[in-house]
Structure 1
Amino acid sequence: MKRFILLAVATVFFAFQIAVATAAAIELDEDIRTVPLNEQGQTTVLSLEQVKQGKRLFNDSCAQCHEGGRTKTNPNVNLSTVTLSGAEPPRDNLAALVDYIKNPTTYDGEIEIYELHPSTRSSDLFPEMRNLTEEDLESIAGHILLEQKIRGIRWGGGKVYN
């Protein structure tokens, strides 16, 4: 009898978890999923599939150095939109972030750092970048821009907020 009760409680618990996880995905309405596309001010709406794919790819390829939007190697440069907009060239839109993932430069844009920072250009040095398609790069960039909208100051804000 005791096993039956524990089984029933576990079933209810897991059913509740599924319902909560589904509700979280629904909360990402079109307004939240709208991110800047380019420097000309155009926007794009990320699909729910892009959101899911972007999070997975970011966690697989980027999170070891950029967990929570921080940059472990340089805490002064994080992935918040404020910081990204201050870069040269600005990296606060989807196209600019995709370009950066292909050809990374220092924050001031002066020096190429593809041998130090994972990029599709240096996939021989960084195997996690080898199989990323253009759509994958757009999903990763979309995730970076979306997280700022979802997590606010906690995205890139350091250990205090995570």
Structure 2
Amino acid sequence: MKNKVFACLLGLTVLSYTVNAAYAIDLDDSTRTLPLDDSGTTVVFTLEQVKRGKKLFNNTCAICHNGGITKTNPNVGLDPEALSLASPPRDNIGSLVEYLKDPTSYDGAESIAEIHPSIKSADIFPKMRNLSDDDLVSIAGHILLQPKIAAEKWGGGKIYY
């Protein structure tokens, strides 16, 4: 991440502040390389996919998952460990896309489509209605990319957010 300093001249007053952020242009190929499936295949996200994933996640998912937490169940976040321990594991693009289409409980035993936004329940959750498979891939990529950018903050809970 780069430190960017911005200054704004307003009359005679100069305001300056520092912003710490990782911008898509700062992300190299290795950072944008994400697991595609459980066989170990990877995919390198484009800068456009990174930007689109962030926008879609913020518009569709962040109300309950801001910062990778889960407001409705603080014991299960979107951090890599929690995703890998789900059944089936949700630690790759393919499994997250399947989850966004038809979500199941953490143990995989039952459908939770009626209470979790998904393509299957788009009639209940309007924000899901117009999402394409490419959109779901971008959202999944955002979820998997954040631990590489925000480290322990992603899914770290209320001590960070």
5+ long unaligned stretches in structure 2: 1-8
Which residue of structure 1 lines up, in the alignment, with residue 109 of structure 2?
A: 110
Which residue of structure 1 lines up, in the alignment, with residue 95 of structure 2?
A: 96
Q: Which has the higher strand share?
A: 2
Q: CA 1:8–1:136 in 2, change beyond 3 Å: closer, same or farther?
A: farther
Alpha-carbon RMSD across the aligned residues, in angstroms, is 2.2
Q: Distance in 2 between matches of 1:34 and 1:46?
A: 6
5+ long unaligned stretches in structure 1: none
Deviation at 1:107, TM superposition (A): 0.3
Deviation at 1:87, TM superposition (A): 0.3
- The reply on whether 1:64 has 2:63 as its aligned counterpart is yes
Identity among equivalent pairs (%): 57
SS of 1:121's equivalent? coil
Which residue of structure 2 lines up, in the alignment, with residue 139 of structure 1?
A: 138
SS of 2:120's equivalent? helix
Which residue of structure 2 lines up, in the alignment, with residue 73 of structure 1?
A: 72
Which residue of structure 2 lines up, in the alignment, with residue 119 of structure 1?
A: 118
SS of 1:29's equivalent? coil
- The reply on whether 1:159 has 2:144 as its aligned counterpart is no
**Larger Rg belongs to:** 1
Which residue of structure 1 lines up, in the alignment, with residue 4 of structure 2?
A: none
TM-score with structure 1 setting the length:
0.87
TM-score with structure 2 setting the length:
0.87
SS of 1:156's equivalent? coil
Q: Distance in 1 between matches of 2:137 and 2:159?
A: 29
Deviation at 1:84, TM superposition (A): 0.2
SS of 1:44's equivalent? strand
Q: CA 1:153–1:131 in 2, change beyond 3 Å: closer, same or farther?
A: same
- The reply on whether 1:83 has 2:82 as its aligned counterpart is yes
Deviation at 1:6, TM superposition (A): 3.5
Q: Which has the higher helix share?
A: 1
Which residue of structure 2 lines up, in the alignment, with residue 39 of structure 1?
A: 38
Task: Letter of the 1:89 partner, please give it.
Answer: P
